[in-house]
Amino acid sequence: MQLLEERIRRDGIVAPGNVLRVDSFINHQMDMELLDKLAEEFYRLFCHERVDRVLTVEASGIAIAALVAQRFRVPLVFAKKSKSSNIPDTVYTCPVRSFTHGNVNTILVTKDYLHAGENVLLIDDFLAHGEALRGLADVVLQAGGHVVGAGILIEKSFQHGGDALREAGMRIESLARIAAMSPEDGVSFL
């Protein structure tokens, strides 16, 4: 999506270690007029599907996911992250490795908030190695639900997390797909 790509070119900062900082308009500070347009685009892409629920993971995915759920008029659920190994049996869980932070979090969703037979749309800000998205899809499957697809703001395609998920049949719509990036040369898109 040209709007988002232009904004990333203008305001995104490529830091060492394949980190793209979009703190000034998507994370931490959020340009709500931009996010509104991005949510509208996700709605356009998925509005022909039955969507019963939107699922994201805390914290930076919550705002865009809320705007998408608002348009579909369905509940939003956000998976919580926990470092604790003391997990009650009232939740679905999946371990999720963070390549950025070099650790493993467990994502949790209370069983009451995912249901068998429901169509769930996954929304997140980033897709890199695909661990968070895989974890979200996993808890939906544990509940007997169906993943309609995933709406991603920024996919770091060069890290290939989307490839395996697409090969496994997941529909992934990324509004900006980064082919390559470096602090010296900036960002180039697919």
d(CA 111, CA 94): 13
Complex with its own copies: residue 24 or 98, whichever CB lies closer: 24
Q: Which residues contact 101 (CB under 8 A, 6 or more apart)?
A: none
Piece of 31-39, 98-106, 160-168, 177-185 that binds its own copies (CB under 8 A): 31-39
Complex with its own copies: residue 45 or 62, whichever CB lies closer: 62
The answer to whether 36 contacts its own copies (rule: CB under 8 A) is: yes
Structure tokens of 125?
């800000």
x-marked contacts with its own copies along 64-103 as a string, rule CB under 8 A: -xxx-xx--xxxxxx-x-----------------------
Interacting positions 112-131 with its own copies (CB under 8 A): 112-113
Least distance to its own copies, CB of residue 100, Å:
15
Complex with its own copies: residue 90 or 185, whichever CB lies closer: 90
Least distance to its own copies, CB of residue 19, Å:
15
- Cβ neighbours, 10 Å, residue 110: 13
The answer to whether 111 contacts its own copies (rule: CB under 8 A) is: no
Complex with its own copies: residue 26 or 165, whichever CB lies closer: 26
CA 171 to chain centre: 13
Closest listed residue to residue 7, CA positions, set 19, 30, 17: 30
φ, ψ for residue 126 (rounded to 5)? -125, 145
Q: Which residues contact 106 (CB under 8 A, 6 or more apart)?
A: 81, 82, 83, 84, 85, 87, 93, 94, 95, 96
Complex with its own copies: residue 73 or 185, whichever CB lies closer: 73
Structure tokens of 115?
């249901």
Q: How far from each other are the two terminal CA atoms of the chain, in whole angstroms?
A: 11
Least distance to its own copies, CB of residue 140, Å:
14
By the criterion CB under 8 A, which residues form the site for its own copies?
23-24, 28-33, 35-36, 58-59, 62-63, 65-67, 69-70, 73-78, 80, 109-110, 112-113
